[in-house]
Amino acid sequence: MADSKKKTNLQSSVSGVGGYDATASSGEPIQPSTAFTELLSREELDQMSTLQLIDLIARKLPPRHTSILDLIYLRDRIQQTEELNEQAREALEKLDAIVEKLRSPAFRVGTFLAAVDSDKAHVCLGGTDYVCRVDPAIPLTSLQIGQRVLCNEAFAVVQGLGFDRNGPIVRIDELLSDGRLRLGQESGLSPFVVQRSALLAKEKLKPAMEVRLDANQRVALEVIGMGKRIERSLETVTVLPWSAIGGQDAAVQAIRRSIEQPILHKELFRRFEHQVPKGFLLYGPPGCGKTLLGKATAYNLRQQLREQTGVDRPEFFLHVKGPEILNMWVGESERQVRDLFAQCRERASDGALAFLFIDEAESILGTRRAGRQSSILSTLVPMFCTEMDGIEPLQNVVVILASNRADLIDPAILRPGRIDRKIKVSRPDRTGAEQIYRIYLKDSLPLAEPSADLAKAVTDAHYAKTPDNQFLEIAFRSGRKEFLHRGDMASGAIIAAIVERSKSYAIDRSIEQGADSPITRDDLLLALRKEYEENDLFPPTDITEDWLKLTDFDPDNVIRLGPVRPRKNEGGSGVI
Ligand code: ADP
């Protein structure tokens, strides 16, 4: 309100300057005075800037005329206004340019496949191939195979971008001799071939590794770690006849009945319409030979089949530990399990004897768990069942689960048609232990006595129910106390370790004496004592829970279970 009033006052004062009414003659152009037009032509005047005109007027005024200062003030004001105008014009031009850019159509993103000429590039855009011109500002050598490029409306490459961060993951089937990759039939696609991106140019790739493709599915961009993990779990089965396993006759018989017979006497089983298992569960304390039995199954089956049919089917033994799968990021565990089955099936269809051995199976196929694990288990168990239901009994894949805690495995897994054979792998009894000692104290080794004598002597010491051999003390809820002796806690792994330890004593002695010193009874007895003191198969704590897991006692009946005496630390006296 106040502003508009001020403006009106200003206007009226300007329009009445020097008695002239500049606004009165509206429509008519205002003419300069003759004093001006005599000096310069009208055209010349029109071409002059406002500031030049003011300078002209100032020059015409007599020196020290009072209006000269006013003219200098006016000139300064006009100059400021002109500068502001100039800035506004520049800002407008910039905005115009921005609006122009925003209105222009979107760029397309393509995958650079190869340079064609010095100024042309082979680009895949939305699944279609183009040979595009390249902006001369971009050196063609700066573009790498597989990287993304921006293409304008005319499909010219105007900018190089980084590599795709997303894209499908596929498994490599075969490496072609020129470095290209043949990919498998994933998700209903027929097999296809892609080239490597610049990122993978020097990477050592192998079949069965997983790679991520660019969005156009033309280039392999990166290895997704999984292939490497699987490689780690693939185990070669060494020579392992049934005779290399001691004290597990019942388990060996059960395996041979459930796995070997149906494969070796297929016709017979078909005639009797006898249900054939798809796998089995080996359960029992650690170190008693569950893994060994799994591998022996693979080894012996291969030998038997070769003898019977003359065809050698190499084994494919995939050994995974449950916790390894569990420790993966969300969704990855499931994918990993599916992939294990897929790999085994693939190998089986190539003619291999495929075994999927899952150690510590209760960790992924268990029930009664809490926290993050329970949510994973709730998806892993049904998924595992679906995979099991999808395999033909013994046609292709044999699944072996191993667990110390079979009671924790979800019953759904153990239903008929899935893992319906449960085979107990117990701690070796005295006879079994002696057999195992015999296996490891080979006749070919430098032994101070016949192997059988050494084995008998050390087994006697191992299984003696003497106070010296008392190893664990159990206090039952009923008030009764009982001792477990070393023999009660024996395992194949411990026996193998005792023999190994005794070998190291004999070797030390041989070095000292400068001549072969064979393994003696004393070496074995010392090794036996040391092994129980230091073996890491036993818990390092006195916590009842930890020790209970190694025994068959009902936790409800036991109050305390722990080592009889603190472990001796013979190496040092405890004084520093
Ligand atoms: P688990 O899988 O039950 O924990 P492993 O099969 O891994 O036990 O056994 C570990 C090692 O102990 C084997 O590699 C083998 O050297 C030895 N071992 C275990 N049980 C036996 C056995 N019954 N006969 C011979 N060696 C055995």
- Least Cα distance to 162 among 150, 172, 176 occurs for 150
Q: Is the CB of 439 under 6 A from ligand 1?
A: yes
Which atom of ligand 1 sits closest to the CA of residue 294? Answer: 6
pLDDT at 556 over 90: no
Where b means 16+ CB within 10 Å and e means fewer, 271-281 reads eeeeebbbbbb
Residue of the CA atom closest to atom 7 of ligand 1: 291
Give the model's pLDDT for residue 501.
96
- Kindly state the average pLDDT of the residues 400-415: 88
What's the 200 CA to ligand 1 centre distance in angstroms? Answer: 41
Ligand 1 proximity of 496 Cβ (cutoff 6 Å): yes
Calculate what percentage of the chain has a pLDDT beyond 90. 40
Distance CA 270, CA 288 (A): 34
575 falls in which pLDDT band (50, 70, 90)?
very low
Q: Which of 14, 62, 16, 54 is nearest to 36 (CA)?
A: 54
402 lines ligand 1 (CB under 6 A): yes
Output the residue whose Cα is nearest ligand 1's atom 27.
492
Over its C-alpha atoms, the chain yields an Rg (Å, rounded) of 45
389, containing H or E segment: helix 371-389
Instruction: Look at residue 84 in the predicted model and tell me its pLDDT.
Output: 95
Please enumerate in sequence order all residues whose Cβ is within 8 A of that of 472, keeping only pairs 6 or more positions apart, or say none.
483, 484, 488, 489, 547, 551, 561, 562, 563, 564
Q: Is the CB of 493 under 6 A from ligand 1?
A: yes
Distance 236 CA to ligand 1 centre (A): 16
pLDDT above 70 for 454: yes
Class of the CATH domain delimited by 108-160: mainly beta
**pLDDT of 333-391, one tens digit each?**
777 788 888 888 888 888 888 899 999 998 888 875 544 455 555 678 888 888 888 77
Q: Which protein residue has the closest C-alpha to ligand 1 atom 11?
A: 493
Cα(246) to centroid(ligand 1), Å: 9
Backbone dihedral angles phi then psi of residue 215, each to the nearest 5 degrees = -60, -30
Answer whether residue 565 shows pLDDT above 50.
Answer: yes
**What pLDDT, on a 0 to 100 scale, did the predictor assign at position 43?**
86
| Residue 232 tokens, joined | 């780690």
pLDDT reading at 200 higher than 50: yes
Q: Tell me what pLDDT residue 446 has.
A: 95
| Count of CA atoms in the C-beta half-sphere (13 A) of 449 | 13
Q: Please check the confidence at residue 237 and state whether its pLDDT lies above 70.
A: yes
Residue 549 has φ and ψ, to the nearest 5°, of: -60, -20
Place of tokens 């025994």: 551
Beta strands per DSSP E along 339-439: 353-359, 397-403, 421-424
Closest ligand 1 atom to the C-alpha of 245? 24
The Å distance, Cα 524 to ligand 1 centre, comes to 19
Q: In the prediction, which pLDDT does 6 show?
A: 47
Q: Which of 54-68, 217-231, 419-433 has the lowest mean pLDDT?
A: 217-231
Question: Which residue, judged by its Cα, is nearest atom 21 of ligand 1?
Answer: 492
Residue ranges per structural domain of the chain: 32-104, 108-160, 169-225, 233-424, 444-489+504-575
Q: Are 423 and 277 spatial neighbours (Cβ–Cβ below 8 Å)?
A: no
Q: Nearest C-alpha to atom 5 of ligand 1 is from which residue?
A: 289
- Which SS3 state, helix, strand or coil, does residue 100 take? helix
DSSP 8-state symbol, 556: G
Ligand 1 neighbour 401 (Cβ under 6 A): no
Q: How far is the CA of 30 from the centre of ligand 1 (A)?
A: 114
Between the CA of 288 and the centroid of ligand 1 the distance, in Å, is 5
Tell how far the Cα of 242 is from the centroid of ligand 1, in angstroms. 13
CATH class of 169-225: mainly beta
pLDDT at residue 329 is higher than 60: no
**Residue 248 in contact with ligand 1 by CB distance below 6 A:** yes
Total residue count of the chain as it appears in this document: 576
**Ligand 1 site, residue 322, Cβ cutoff 6 A:** no
Which residue minimizes the CA distance to atom 6 of ligand 1? 289
Q: Which residue has the higher pLDDT, 574 or 561?
A: 561
Report CA(535)–ligand 1 centroid distance (Å). Answer: 14
If residue 341 lies in a helix (H) or strand (E), which one and from where to where?
helix 332-349
pTM over 0.85: no
Task: Specify the pLDDT at position 512.
Answer: 94
Choose between 304 and 454: higher pLDDT: 454
Q: Residues 189-212: what's their mean pLDDT?
A: 85
Looking at the predicted structure, is the pLDDT value of residue 308 above 70?
yes
Centroid of ligand 1 to alpha carbon of 358 (angstroms): 16
pLDDT at 555: 82
Q: Residue 109 — pLDDT band, cuts 50, 70, 90?
A: very high
- Closest residue by CA, ligand 1 atom 25: 245
Please indicate whether residue 291, judged by its CB atom, sits closer than 6 Å to ligand 1. yes
- pLDDT bracket for residue 74 (50, 70, 90): very high
**Taking residues 49-57, what's their average pLDDT?**
89
- Which residue, judged by its Cα, is nearest atom 12 of ligand 1? 493
* Average pLDDT, integer, range 239-244: 92
Mutate which of 238, 292, 434 for ligand 1? The one with the most ligand atoms within 8 Å of its CB, which is 292
Q: Please tell me if the CB atom of residue 289 comes closer than 6 angstroms to any atom of ligand 1.
A: yes
Q: Is 337 in the pocket of ligand 1 (CB under 6 A)?
A: no
The reply to whether 233-424 shares the fold of 108-160 is: no
Ligand 1 touching residue 400 (CB < 6 A): no
Q: Is pLDDT at 220 greater than 70 in this prediction?
A: yes
Q: Averaged over 295-319, what is the pLDDT?
A: 88
- Cα-Cα-Cα-Cα torsion 438, 299, 404, 531, nearest 10 degrees, comes to 30
**551 has a pLDDT exceeding 90:** no
Angle at 103 between CA 158 and CA 88, to 5 degrees: 105
Which CATH architecture does the domain made up of 233-424 adopt? 3-Layer(aba) Sandwich (3.40)
| Of 151-165, 317-331, 391-405, minimum mean pLDDT range | 317-331
For residue 431, give Cα distances in angstroms to 185, 246, 321, 544, 576.
53, 9, 31, 29, 45
| pLDDT at 137 exceeding the cut of 60 | yes
- Cα 491 to middle of ligand 1, angstroms: 8
